[in-house]
Every structure is written in structure tokens, then in C-alpha cells.
Amino acid sequence: MDERLAAINEQVAAAVDAWMADPRDVGVYQRMVAAVEARRAHLHPPPRLRPLEPDAQASLAPAEEPAEEIVGTADIGSVQRVGSLLAGGDPRAAIERLRRGR
């Protein structure tokens, strides 16, 4: 294991430990997610892009006609803080509220 991965693993472990101690703290949850994403990015970096050939660049020119508009959008509900969902402390009630869209 390289030193960078070891350091990232320590950050993930510390963030998960903090979240386990206080799962309602949004900031702690955000740090945990950021640490996990950093670990994933380190383990699976995006492929390196090579320059396009001149013929391929010409085919990427913008279309002359505008794309059709998307008709209708899904109702995804409102964004809610995690802490507000667990206000009663009952996870089952929170899941039911999410399923009902409230």
C-alpha cells in the first residue's frame, strides 16, 4: 500500500468514526463522503485523455439545429437536511416520510 493511500484510509477511518459518534451532524457526514470519494478517486483514477485526431474534431462541431427540448420532468421532491428527517429519532418513521415524499 502506498503512503498516499494509507493517509487517505486514515482520513476515511477518522471520518467514519466521527459519523458513527454523531450521525445527525451534516458536516461530519459531508467529511465522510468527501473522504470516501477521495479514496475512490485514488484507487480508480479517470483514464487519461489523448488529443483527438483532426477528423474527429470536425465531427464534434455544434449541430445546426437546436436539440429538442425535454418534455416533462420528474418530480424529485425537495432537498431536506438529514437531521430534519431523523428529528423524531425513529429511522423507520424517517423512511416512511421519505417514501411519502414529505
Q: Could you report the per-residue pLDDT of 3-53, keeping only the tens digit for each?
A: 999 999 999 999 999 999 999 999 999 999 999 999 999 998 887 766 666
Distance separating alpha carbons of residues 89 and 102, to the nearest angstrom:
16
Residue 3 belongs to some domain of the structure: yes
Grade residue 74 by pLDDT with cuts at 50, 70 and 90. Answer: low
Please report the pLDDT score of residue 30 as a whole number.
94
Residue 13 belongs to some domain of the structure: yes
Residue 71 belongs to some domain of the structure: no
Number of H helices, E strands in the chain: 5, 0
Query: What's the number of domains the chain is made of?
Result: 1
Residue 19 belongs to some domain of the structure: yes
Please report the pLDDT score of residue 95 as a whole number.
75
Provide the domain limits for residue 13.
1-46+80-102
pTM of the model: 0.46
Q: Are 42 and 5 in contact (CB under 8 A)?
A: yes
